[in-house]
Amino acid sequence: MKKNLAGVVVAMMLVLGAVVPVMAQYSGPMKVTVPFSFVVENDRMHAGDYTIQRVADGRLRIQSNDGRTAATFLAFPKQGKATPEQAHFIFRRYGSEYFLATIWTPGQEVGWEVLQGKLETELARKATSSAETAMLIGH
């Protein structure tokens, strides 16, 4: 039991060690207008204008510009094929449900893959085909 726990702790340290340097490159808040309701991990967000920024503990925070909704979430580095000039936000869709999936930061080849929450994991398991994706450009 202690060996398993030690292995989990070491794995978490390695993952967090990989996340923190990537997030350190993040230069400031990104803004996006999302025309549909969506889910970030396990938090439901309404359609509207959002700001995403890094918070002190190495996590990202998304907050509606009207201040009504916010969520803090962990994302893991994802290598891109090109360096985007603008922020890109990728959403996966299962039926009528959208989930924030990937965030691409302007000027960086590395983006962030958002963890799947319970609802997305369940819908992905039940899906008969792969999820459709939608991309929004930040402003």
Residue 107 — very low, low, confident or very high, per pLDDT cuts 50/70/90? confident
What's the order of all strands across the beta sheet hosting 30-34? 30-34, 48-54, 60-64, 70-73
pLDDT at residue 138, rounded to an integer: 82
Model confidence over 43-64: pLDDT tens digits?
Answer: 999 999 999 998 867 689 999 9
Number of domains comprising the chain? 1
d(CA 100, CA 94): 12
Q: What is the pLDDT of residues 56-105, one digit of tens each?
A: 676 899 999 999 999 999 888 888 888 888 889 999 999 999 999 999 98
Q: How many angstroms separate the CA atoms of 103 and 11, rounded?
A: 24
Residue 117: which domain range?
2-137
Residues 97, 123: contact at Cβ < 8 Å?
yes
pTM of the model: 0.76
